[in-house]
Amino acid sequence: MLFLGKEISTPLTLASGILGISFSSLQRVIRDGAGMVTTKSLSIEPRIGHEGPVIAEFDGGLINSVGLTNPGIAEGLEEVEKFKRGIDGVVIVSVFGANAEEFVQLASAVNDSSADILELNLSCPNVEDEFKRPFALMPDKITEIVSAVKAVSNIPVLAKLSPNANDISAIAALTEAAGADGLTMINTLGHGMVIDAVAKRPVLRNNFGGISGPCIKPLAIKLIHDAYKVVNIPILGTGGVSTGLDAIEMMMAGASAIGVGSAVYDHGLDVFKSIREEMEVFMDTHGYTKYSDLIGILKEN
């Protein structure tokens, strides 16, 4: 199947922020059944991120406040080149800047790499202490950043949207109008907080963070469906997918590809193989011949 003009064997995609950016771990994901991999969000300079603990489990999911830890764009792209030399796989490079100028600088750097798709992380909820409201909640910033990046990027551009937007349909349409080639949705939900009742304090050192995992799947599916009805660009859907049926549901709601994130934390890299096999069994049982047959076929009551 095709996603943004790239041939992929399966719609399953490693979501950003779950593994590091080492080429060997990304190659393993492709071998285990993913069609694409997404790097951690890379900034111009390296970022240490937040002090630990930065991840906690709760019934139904995870909460994290990693703080966009990454080695910087230069080192990140070196790993992309190593990945590409060793395996035939589609790489989405996720980037994060403090303003439109930084996003343009990052896009220009990615132009000089072997990356296949550029993802603009406009919606990380756990760095608001530094950057205030996520750009994905500010329509004027979406237009400014996406249009500026599209003016320089040599590869397709995905914009990663926030589930915290008041009107996701309006935001999705605006992002398409600004020139985005596709959408990634959704990012983590939040803020949320988990408390250690014995210690009488939040579990995370940063107090709060973004929520992910199975608990956000119904929200992700609903928002993807809302966006699908108003845009003509593909959606990389992510949020709580851990089984083949989860992925099928998300594609029926309108996603053309599926990001898998928290499930890797819970079940390991073998989850890509199990999800793919479960999808294939469902498709064989119900008469679907190709993945694209599933996209947007939801029948509303």
- pLDDT of residue 38 exceeding 80, the answer is yes
Quick one: DSSP state of residue 242?
-
User: Tell me, what amino acid is at 186?
Assistant: I
Structural domain boundaries of the chain?
2-49+68-194+212-294
Residues 6-25 have pLDDT tens digits of 999 999 999 998 776 788 88
The pLDDT confidence band at residue 254, using thresholds 50, 70 and 90, is very high
**pLDDT score at 144:** 95
- Residue 215: active-site member: no
Three state DSSP letters for 150-193: HCCCCCCEEEECCCCCCCHHHHHHHHHHCCCCEEEECCCEEEEC
Structure tokens at 83: 């990945």
Closest CA to 220 of 267, 168, 269, 178: 168
Q: Which entry of 15, 117, 120, 124 is annotated as an active-site residue?
A: 124
**How many other β-carbons are positioned within 10 Å of the β-carbon of residue 185?**
32
- pLDDT of residue 126 exceeding 50, the answer is no
Tell me the CATH number for domain 2-49+68-194+212-294: 3.20.20.70
Total-model pTM? 0.95
Q: Calculate the CA dihedral of residues 109, 119, 273, 241 and round it to 10 degrees.
A: 160
The pLDDT confidence band at residue 125, using thresholds 50, 70 and 90, is low
**pLDDT score at 128:** 47
